[in-house]
Homo-oligomer: A and B are copies of this chain.
Amino acid sequence: MRELLYGAAYYDEYMPYDRLEKDVAMMKKAGINTVRIAESTWSTCEPQEGVFDFSHVIRVMDAMEEAEINVIIGTPTYAVPTWMVKAYPDVLAETVKGRGIYGARQIMDITHPVYRYYAERVIRKLMEVSVHRKCVIGFQLDNETKYYGTAGKNVQLGFVKYLREKFHNDLDALNHEFGLDYWSNRINAWEDFPDVRGTINGSLGAEFEKYQRSLVEEFLGWQAAIVSEYKREDQFITHNLDFEWRGYSYGVQPDVNHFKCAKHLTMAGTDIYHPTQDHLSGAEIAFGGDLIRCLKNDNYLVLETEAQGYPGWTPYDGQLRLQAYSHLASGALGVMYWHWHSIHNSFETYWKGLLSHDMEENAVYKEACIIGSEFKKLSPVLSGFKKDNKVAIMVNNEALTALKWFGIEASAAGDNGIGYNDVVRWIYDALYKVNIECDIIWEESENIEKYQAIILPAMYTADEKILTRLKKYTAQGGTLIATFKTAFANENVKVYPDRQPHILNEVFGMYYQQFTFPENVTLTGFEGSEPEAETFMELLIPDGAEIISAYQHPNWKKYAAVTHHTYERGNAWYIGCMFEEHYLQQMLIKILAQSGINAAAPEKFPVIVREGINAKGEKIRFYLNYSWEEQRVEAADDFEVILGSADSTKREIHLSAWDVCIIKFDK
């Protein structure tokens, strides 16, 4: 891309009255240079089976082309028209709750041939009317695709065939690996394969979820192949990958393997939503960005993020702008809002766009005008902005699924239980807040050896291949850090029947046989304070390792909580329990410093410092102030001010409330 993209999803279809001319004028005024259209409008594009009407799409392309605004075309397949469901009711996915009722989006069976037949046809028709248009810079496949719990007979049949292949037709192997003898679940003939929706076997259940995730990969690959038949070389194929949703974008997406899906895209894309007002921390923007950027080791599209969002997120003055630069600081090619205007009916009436329902200028729109104008100016200097991080966090869909089956409980009641992403975010947020940038990598990532340190948060399932690779990585001088619940089970969620953590116990110089929930347990080894052990604790028995922290408790005092071990040329730290993130920050600073990894700057949250190298090889640094408090920060080296209020002669950065400053180092 030559310029930073600034844009919004635009729905001519949803307008209460003809607004196109007025909207284009307002967009131009705001510096908006991209709109995303067509996604989710199947019932408008194909009002009856085989009857096509792309007039909304065409008229918007016409208007945008004239206004020199880029268009991204979304295939409209994530919500099916009533005529399809009325004629073929079983295109709706059959889940563990039975078959759904028409209404919501994303409730069809993405493997169903009827759905595929119609989806393919509408995609081809849409490509025919849009692909040749100058304004069209790329295509988004579907929208936040998942498998929607699809588990009908057809899907289960596919799963059994998949297992036959995986286990080379050997039922004994399957029964053994999954431990199906337990509770008489053993399957002694393929014909007896039971309805998997009722299984209580975590290995079988997790394998089925993995299979369901593979359906998403296959589906996006199938759409990508269709679009590729048409698209020009300069047009990209993307998809808006999203995250575990906890009312906002929280962590690794449970239902999609991002790494595998990204193989089908020419450019990674994402949707990121997050709290604002006093709760805006930038952590979700940074986490999402670091994860998506690493999928293709390249810049990425933010296809959706909130403008006003839902009522609790109405931004304070300055926050929309701070958010925009936070995305750029992670390597985004720009920012696109969901969506231009607030909708006047239906489910997301209160998920507000840049314009409120009155569609007049408002406080947020006025701030967008400033951002648009700045983006235009900054495009040359920020072009080709890349990172070179020393630390990587390794993530893993399978560990997430397994920990849904075998949760990290906090108490007998289980009501304070936490999941995989809680541990991922515990690690990520601690690094983020002390300004140590990191990449997010996968077992399948190439060249993981390039990192100085790799962190494994709760990597519960891991096959021997990756464990051996990590062992070798450490032996050769790498720094390996793992938390509790790492390397406990194999890729089939079968607990390793020897010392935990499997294979790595040698690397960490310790093992454990028992674990429990902490009650009135504090930790030694933290200067001036005794943090409480929280949620879960493993009772570590050092076997060569030094004790960094031990439990303080009448019964558990003989066990270690955190250990350090020098393993051949490398270093290995194991964190056996959870504790307040604040103490983890301290610990990670110390651990990483020992491996020669230090933060970009001494500041800590709420001042966030993120940096990289632009196309010209210049080091660019963002200062982001996530607070009401004015900040004054000193830079160690000479710099040039790109944006914001800084005194380069005094090497001083000034940040007002929710403010941003960008500087450039020459050397």
Bound form: Cα–Cα A627–B285 in Å: 50
Asked whether A526 is an interface residue with its Cβ less than 8 Å from the other chain, the reply is: no
**B102 touching A14, Cβ below 8 Å:** no
Nearest 5 pairs between A and B by C-beta?
A179-B345, A101-B198, A103-B198, A79-B184, A43-B186
Q: Which residues from chain B contact A363 at a C-beta distance below 8 Å?
A: 513-514
- One of A65-73, A392-400, A490-498, A603-611 at the interface: A490-498
Known A181-B14, A357-B496; contact A347-B85, beta-carbon cutoff 8 A: no
CB of A317 within 8 A of CB of B555, answer yes
* Stretch from A321-329, A404-412, A448-456 at the B interface: A404-412
User: CB distance A189 to B83 under 8 Å?
Assistant: yes
A82 touching B185, Cβ below 8 Å: yes
Q: What chain B residues lie within 8 Å of A513 (beta carbons)? A: 356, 358, 360, 362-363
What string of 1s and 0s marks CB contacts (under 8 Å) between A346-369 and chain B?
111110000011111011100000
**Residue pair A182, B347 in contact (C-beta under 8 Å):** yes
Contact B497 A358 (CB under 8 A): yes
CB neighbours (8 Å) of A308 from chain B are: 514
**Residues of chain B within 8 A of A17, CB atoms compared:** 497
Q: Mark A301-331, 1 if CB is under 8 A from B, else 0.
A: 0000000101111101100000000000000
Tell whether, in the assembled complex, residue A201 and residue B347 are in contact, meaning their CB atoms are under 8 Å apart: yes
List chain B residues, Cβ under 8 A from A555.
277, 316-317
Q: With A201-B347, A316-B555, A344-B494 given, can you name 18 additional A-B contacts, CB distance below 8 Å?
A: A16-B494, A41-B181, A43-B181, A43-B184, A101-B197, A102-B195, A103-B197, A104-B183, A202-B347, A277-B519, A278-B519, A310-B412, A311-B409, A344-B496, A349-B495, A350-B406, A356-B514, A362-B514
In angstroms, how far is the closest chain B Cβ from the Cβ of A510?
Answer: 13
Contact assessment for A83 and B14 in the assembled complex, using a CB-CB cutoff below 8 Å: no
Q: How far is the CB of A248 from chain B (nearest CB, A)?
A: 8
Q: Please tell me if the beta carbons of A76 and B184 are within 8 angstroms of each other in the complex.
A: yes
With A103-B201, A184-B41 already in contact, the answer to whether A314 and B357 are too (CB < 8 A) is no
Q: Shortest distance in angstroms between A417's beta carbon and chain B's nearest beta carbon? A: 11
Contact A516 B311 (CB under 8 A): yes
Count copies of this chain in the complex.
3
Is A42 in the interface zone, CB < 8 Å from B? yes
Residues of B within 8 A of A41 (CB): 181, 184
Complex contact A202–B349 (CB within 8 A)? yes
Q: Closest B-chain residue to A319, C-beta based? A: B555
Decide if A192 is an interface residue (CB 8 Å cutoff).
yes
Q: Can you name 27 A-B pairs with beta carbons within 8 Å?
A: A13-B181, A14-B182, A16-B494, A40-B183, A44-B181, A44-B186, A47-B186, A79-B184, A81-B184, A82-B188, A83-B189, A83-B192, A103-B198, A182-B346, A183-B347, A200-B346, A202-B347, A278-B520, A312-B409, A314-B514, A344-B494, A344-B496, A349-B495, A357-B496, A358-B497, A359-B497, A360-B513
The answer to whether B514 and A203 touch across the interface, beta carbons within 8 angstroms, is: no
- Complex Cα distance A542/B395, Å? 52
- Measured as residues with beta carbon below 8 angstroms from the partner, the interface class of chain A is 35 or more
Q: When the two chains form their complex, are residues B103 and A185 in contact, meaning their CB atoms are under 8 A apart?
A: yes
A203 to B345, CA, bound (A): 7
Cβ–Cβ < 8 Å partners of A194 in chain B: 82, 85-86, 102-103
B188 touches A48 (CB 8 A): yes
**A191 contacts across to B, CB distance below 8 A:** 86
A102 lies within 8 A of B198 (CB): yes
Taking CB atoms and an 8 Å cut-off, the chain A residues in 161-199 that contact chain B are 176, 178-189, 191-195, 197-199
Q: Are B103 and A199 in contact (CB under 8 A)?
A: yes
User: Which residue of B316, B495, B516 is within 8 Å of A345 (Cβ)?
Assistant: B495
Q: How far is the CA of A554 from the CA of B627 in the complex (A)?
A: 12
> A346 is contacted by which of B201, B350, B498 (Cβ under 8 Å)?
B201
Q: Is A500 positioned at the interface, with any CB of B under 8 Å from its CB?
A: yes
Contact: A182 with B343, CB < 8 Å? yes
User: Does A287 lie at the interface of the complex (its beta carbon under 8 Å from any beta carbon of B)?
Assistant: no
- Do residues B514 and A345 form an inter-chain contact, with CB atoms below 8 A? no
Q: How far is the CA of A189 from the CA of B43 in the complex (A)?
A: 11
Known interface pairs A194-B85, A536-B311; A189-B48 also in contact (CB < 8 Å): yes
Name A79's contact: one of B183, B187, B411 (CB within 8 Å): B183
- Chain B residues, CB < 8 A from A665: none
Digitize A78-95: 1 where CB-to-B-CB distance is under 8 Å, 0 elsewhere. 011111011000000000
Is the beta-carbon distance between B47 and A188 smaller than 8 angstroms? yes
Q: Is A247's CB within 8 Å of the partner chain B? A: yes
Q: Which residues of B contact A347 (CB under 8 A)?
A: 182-183, 200-202
A199 CB, nearest partner CB in chain B, Å = 4
| A230 beta carbon closer than 8 Å to chain B | no
Question: Which residues of chain B come closer than 8 Å to A477, judged between CB atoms?
Answer: none
Indicate which residue in B80, B105, B342, B346 contacts A203 across the interface (CB closer than 8 Å): B346
